[in-house]
């Protein structure tokens, strides 16, 4: 008989939501549930706008500060390294005091730092602000995902997970459109200023929406039990880490692989098109928009499919799809073929990412639904922080030639570097997905605060302790 983690790749029948149940659940949503979801989606979109602002303007920033491409990508590395710090700070504040105001404050801080980035004059100032911004950005994902998903019916969480995660792609598209329209006329600073305005708008929207009903119910229970205090929360945190340390390690490994996959295929992509393929900045931006517009459906499809065939199996299929189309990503020289390659690869990457919000929420101890997903996500980000720098350094050492203005020119071979990088990471993610656990169909809204299963529906949920045992099996 195959190991348990292999047998449970496909969820049991009772955990799969019939299409009719999905429709009924959609009709039953209140305006508060809709508002909670879309405010979380908008916050995550704002996070993406500012992060990719650096990726899209690497050549301009290099010219502005007189630094090499690999030096400019240090800003991306610093941001990713420090996001785990923000995830811990804002996640624990949110799990202790609420989803609403911590996210509002988090967004305001992001907006202020984003605005300030547009006023820097030196490279040192730029790096300092990007480092501080990394701390602020670190809190957004955990807070927005918990707000968006924990108040939805179980039948909708797979689809909602995919749509939520693709807020990142919408942010990427917004930033690319701004880069295409405002930056040529007003410079790279306009991209950061516009992003700051959108972030302040998201903070106002979240401030107008009520607190998470799920969080309020939990706090009422804690008050009734006399456990609504900081000392008890710290005790629960220690117990959670002691009980679920193996689960935490697994989640970090999964997020490390997926972050390497996304950042390795996105952060240096516009630079790759301009330098290795010889495209203009305008054409590179258009190709980025095309690839991300079409691949937006990947996240929704991945999240929806995971409701029926399982979280891990969906991740594996999507990553395999991305790997198969790597040759189309790097070999052609025409605009149309490269755009098609970008679409196919990002369809797979985003399909896998569409599963992640609900996968982490379902395996998370309920009392830490903002902290656990946010921290493991950002720790994965931290480990993968050097993605762009690894590729930039690889390009410095691996060269190719292209015809530019009628002259044969030696340029960094980012095509080969990215093909090797993405291929290796895809294999790693598939292996990690195979050996890991999932808590498909978890009724975490009915769960015990520390573990999450004692009061829940056992027909659709396995225990937290079993999750740890499955990893060690």
Question: What confidence tens digit (pLDDT) does each residue in 413-464 have?
Answer: 888 999 999 999 999 999 999 888 887 666 555 555 444 443 344 333 344 4
Name every residue whose Cβ is closer than 8 Å to that of residue 373 and which is 6 or more positions away in sequence: 141, 142, 145, 146, 357, 360, 361, 364
Does residue 302 contact residue 159 with C-beta atoms inside 8 Å?
A: no
Task: Give, as one character, the DSSP assignment of residue 212.
Answer: P
Stated as kind and residue range, the H or E segment containing 35 is helix 31-56
Name every residue whose Cβ is closer than 8 Å to that of residue 421 and which is 6 or more positions away in sequence: 260, 264, 387, 390, 391, 394
Domain residue limits, the chain? 11-216+232-472
Stated as kind and residue range, the H or E segment containing 408 is strand 407-412
Question: What confidence tens digit (pLDDT) does each residue in 148-190 have?
Answer: 888 888 778 888 888 888 888 889 889 988 998 999 999 999 9
Stated as kind and residue range, the H or E segment containing 100 is helix 100-117
Cα 79-81-84 angle, rounded to 5 deg:
100
Distance CA 395, CA 389 (A): 10
As assigned by CATH, the class of the 11-216+232-472 domain is mainly alpha
Distance CA 374, CA 360 (A): 9
pTM of the model as a whole? 0.74
Q: What average pLDDT does this structure show over 78-101?
A: 86
Distance CA 277, CA 287 (A): 12
Distance CA 270, CA 288 (A): 7
Please identify which residue in the block is written with the tokens 């040192």: 124
Question: What confidence tens digit (pLDDT) does each residue in 239-298 have?
Answer: 777 777 888 899 999 999 999 998 888 888 888 888 888 888 888 888 777 777 766 778
Report which of 254, 165, 247 is spatially closest to residue 434, judged by C-alpha positions: 254
**What is the chain's mean pLDDT, rounded?**
82
């Amino acid at each position: 008989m195959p190991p348990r983690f292999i047998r449970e790749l496909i969820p049991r029948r009772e955990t799969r939501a019939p299409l009719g149940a999905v429709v009924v659940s959609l009709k039953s949503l209140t305006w508060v549930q809709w508002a909670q979801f879309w405010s979380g989606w908008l916050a995550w979109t704002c996070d993406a706008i500012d992060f990719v602002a650096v990726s899209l303007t690497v050549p301009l920033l290099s010219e502005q500060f007189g630094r090499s491409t690999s030096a400019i990508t240090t800003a991306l590395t610093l941001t990713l390294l420090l996001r785990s710090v923000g995830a811990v700070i804002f996640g624990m504040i949110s799990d202790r005091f609420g989803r609403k105001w911590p996210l509002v404050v988090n967004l305001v801080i992001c907006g202020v730092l984003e605005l300030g980035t547009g006023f820097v004059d030196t490279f040192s100032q730029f790096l300092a602000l990007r480092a501080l911004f990394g701390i602020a950005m670190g809190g957004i994902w955990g807070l927005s995902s918990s707000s968006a998903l924990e108040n939805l019916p179980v039948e909708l969480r797979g689809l909602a997970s995919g749509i939520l995660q693709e807020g990142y792609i919408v942010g990427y598209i917004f930033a690319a459109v701004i880069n295409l329209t405002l930056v040529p006329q007003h410079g790279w600073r306009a991209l950061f200023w516009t992003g700051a305005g959108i972030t302040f708008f998201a903070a106002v929207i979240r401030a107008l929406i009520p607190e998470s009903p799920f969080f309020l119910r939990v706090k009422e229970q804690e008050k009734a039990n006399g456990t609504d205090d900081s000392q008890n929360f710290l005790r629960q945190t220690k117990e959670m880490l002691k009980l679920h340390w193996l689960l935490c390690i697994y989640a970090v490994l999964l997020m490390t692989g997926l972050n390497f996959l996304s950042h390795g295929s996105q952060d240096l992509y516009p630079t790759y098109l301009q330098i290795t393929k010889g495209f203009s900045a305008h054409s590179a931006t258009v190709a980025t928009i095309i690839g991300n517009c079409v691949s937006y459906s990947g996240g929704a499809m991945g999240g929806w499919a995971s409701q029926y065939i399982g979280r891990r199996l969906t991740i594996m299929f999507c990553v395999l799809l991305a790997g198969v189309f790597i040759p189309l990503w790097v070999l052609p020289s025409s605009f149309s073929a490269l755009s098609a390659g970008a679409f196919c690869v990002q369809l797979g990457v985003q399909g896998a990412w569409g599963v992640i919000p609900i996968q982490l929420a379902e395996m998370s101890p309920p009392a830490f639904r903002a902290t656990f997903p946010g921290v493991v996500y950002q720790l994965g980000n931290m480990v993968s922080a050097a993605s762009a720098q690894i590729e930039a350094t690889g390009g410095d050492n691996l060269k190719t030639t292209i015809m530019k203005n009628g002259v044969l020119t030696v340029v960094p071979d980012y095509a080969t570097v990215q093909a090797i990088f993405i291929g290796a990471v895809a294999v790693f993610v598939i292996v990690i997905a195979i050996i890991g656990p999932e808590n498909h169909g978890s009724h975490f809204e009915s769960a015990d605060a520390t573990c999450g299963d004692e009061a829940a529906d056992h027909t659709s949920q396995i225990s937290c302790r079993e999750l740890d045992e499955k990893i060690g099996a």
